[in-house]
Structure formats: structure tokens, C-alpha cells
Structure 1
Amino acid sequence: MELDQCFRQIRLAVFDFDGVFTDNRVFVLEDGREAVACNRSDGLGLELCKKAGFDMLVLSKERNPVVGARCRKLGLECIQGCEDKGTRLRQEVAGRGLVMAQVAYLGNDINDLPCLEQVGLPACVADAYPEVIERCVYITRRAGGHGAVREFCDRWRAANSA
């Protein structure tokens, strides 16, 4: 199937957080709190997708206040502390009345493989782990934390406006 056709069939985009919204680095402050850097252009891409009526959520293995705070600011549904991402993804998809062929997943590391192997559009950031890149049909040109989410969102919207 042609890539634009793959994007047109998507009704739900699911994103990992660390390494996708961030460059996979974490800043540890003196008191033990963590901070990350995110790319502001990702937020605009997500906002434009929401305005177009696209459904999106973040699925993160780690439970971290910074992830929740960023997702709240972006207005994204966020599921954290998810040890079995593949099972949780199937539950979320079924709960929305969708099938896996209607789902895109944007990840970066091997803990994303159970999700990437099930969805209709497996996607990853440019600096993803090599084993992840091998399994994806769409690879962003931008690295995680450097506008990869925006690039994905722009491609999704463009495919649906053609």
C-alpha cells in the first residue's frame, strides 16, 4: 500500500513520549526531580491535527510527572506506567471501536516493538534504535525531540487533504 493511503486509513495516532517528544535525554535536578526538553513545533502540529478531528494519545512505559504535565499542556490523553504497551494499545483501540489497521504508532526504542508490530502504520523517529527502524514503514527525517512529531502530524494532515 502506498504511504499516503496508509496515512489516510489512520483514525488514531499513538505516540511514545521519551525519545519521540524528547531527544531521549533527561536532566536530573539537585532535588532529584527530572526535566526534559521538548520541541514547541510539535505542539502546533498536534493542535492542527486536533482541529482536523484526529484522535491521538501518548502511551508511556515510564510514569513521570513531566510527561503528564506536557501532555496536559498539549491537551493529549496520556497513559503512563504501562508495562505491557501492546496489550494496553489493543484495549485502547478496541475501546474506540477501531481495528489495529486504523492505528499509527510513532516510537523510538525496542519497548515500542509490541505496538509497532500490530498497527497499520508503524512509524519511528530518525534516530530510533536500528531494530525499530527495520520494522517501520514511515521514518521521520527529524530526530526525536527535534520536530519529529510535527513532521508526522504534517504528513498525516497532508495525506488526508489530498
Structure 2
Amino acid sequence: MQDLVKAAGQVKMLVLDVDGILSNGQIIYDANGIETKAFNVQDGIGTNALKKYGIKTAIITGRSSPMVDKRAKELGVEYVVQGRDDKLAALKELLKDMDLQLEDCAYMGDDLPDIKALQSVGFAATVPNAHKEVLERAMMVTSRAGGAGAVREVCDLILKGHGVYEDFIAQYVL
């Protein structure tokens, strides 16, 4: 665990997939064909905490959805890239205009299109129900599933790695 905390302390940007990470991976259509997704409120506290401590956040997803833009805004996510199957290429393009390298990033993904990005960053995380090929390549597997607070687990670990977790928690306790 100490090695994970140390690695998380090097993270300058957390990059998230959506389906299976921020959501449970289900795609639900209503009677009018409108797509809906469910997100976990605890993830938002975590991503906003990262922002407070100067850690950037990004979303890279293969699908395109206005719900992702809305949720990203609520989460305080600064960068959103949608409709990109090649997640590594999208991440490299995103980093081109930043003073960050791949090894400065944490990436959370759960399926085959995420593997190259997971293998290229400094901290790779996934969820317990990820594809087996992803599970074999991740540094961290959260205890919670996607859409059930898995992102928050990684955010908390990053805060611990940066030595600011106790400061973050202090605002909520007496």
C-alpha cells in the first residue's frame, strides 16, 4: 500500500474514462431514446478536492454525450475529450499544451480501449469488474465498482500521496 501512496504522490493530473469508471457502465435509454447515466456523488467531492490542491482532472471517453459535459462541470473537471477510441493518442494531444508528461498522470479505465493509456502513465487504476486484461495491467484495483465511488478511492489516495488528505478531511470534522 505504501508503494501505491508514493506513486499517487507523483500524480499531477487524474484522467478518467466515463462508462464503467464514473458510471456503472450501463447505457439506459428512455422511451424517447434519450440516453441516461447514473453518477456517484462521492466522486465529485474527490475530484473537487484534487482541484483545490492543484491537481488537474480530465475525462477521455469513446462515446459522446451532453451528460458527460454536465457531469464534468459538476466535478470541476477542467478537460473533456469525447468521441475518442484511441485514448492514448487523445491523452498525448491533451498534454501537448500542458507542462505535463505521461508519467505525471494517473489514468482510470476499465476496458480494452483504455489499456495503452493505462500502460503509459505513472499511475494506472481500474475497478474490480474491469476486463481481465485491464486488471492484469493496473497498479491499483479499487474496492468499489465504477459508478459506486471508485473514482473517490483514487482521489483520496492521490491526496494521501500529496500529504494533504488530513487537511482535506479536517474541513469536515470537529
Q: For the residues of structure 1 that align with 2:38 and 2:15, how far apart are their CA atoms?
A: 20
Q: How many residues align?
A: 162
Counterparts of 1:132-143 in structure 2, within 5 Å, are 132-143=134-145
| Structure 1 residue 75, shift from structure 2 partner | 2.4
- On the 8 A contact 2:51/2:76 being kept in 1, the answer is no
The CA deviation at 1:90 is: 1.1
Give 1:93 deviation, angstroms: 2.0
**SS of the residue 2:145 aligns to:** coil
**Could you tell me the percent identity over the aligned residues?**
33
Which residue in 2 is equivalent to 1:74?
75
Q: Is it true that 1:144 corresponds to 2:153 in the alignment?
A: no
Cα deviation, residue 72, structure 1:
2.0
2:42 is equivalent to residue 41 of structure 1: yes
Which residue of structure 2 aligns with residue 96 of structure 1? 98
SS at match of 1:117: helix
Give the 3-state SS of the residue equivalent to 2:134 in structure 1.
helix
Instruction: Give a deviation string over 1:3-38, Cα, whole Å, max 9, x none.
Output: 222111111110001100111112101111111111
Q: CA deviation at 1:83?
A: 2.8
Deviations 1:107-139 (A, max 9, x none): 111110121111111111121111101000111
Counterpart contact for 2:29–2:35, Cα < 8 Å: yes
Q: SS where residue 124 of structure 2 aligns?
A: strand
Secondary structure of the 2:138 match is coil
What TM-score comes out, normalization by structure 1 length?
Answer: 0.95
Aligned partners of 1:83, 1:25: CA distance in 2, in Å?
A: 18
Partner of 1:159: 161
Counterparts of 1:27 and 1:100, CA distance in 2: 33
Q: Which runs of 5+ in 2 are unaligned?
A: 165-174
Pairwise CA RMSD: 1.4
Q: State the partner residue of 2:28.
A: 27
Contact 2:10–2:161 at 8 Å: present in 1 too?
A: no
- In structure 1, stretches of 5+ residues that fail to align are none
Q: Find out whether 1:125 has 2:93 as its counterpart.
A: no
Once the 2 structures are TM-superposed, how far is the Cα of residue 104 of structure 1 from its aligned partner? 0.7
1:118 maps to amino acid = S
Task: Spell out, residue by residue over 1:22-70, the C-alpha distance to the aligned partner (whole angstroms, 9 max, x if none).
Answer: 1111210111111111111111111111111110100011111211221
TM-score under structure 2 normalisation? Answer: 0.88
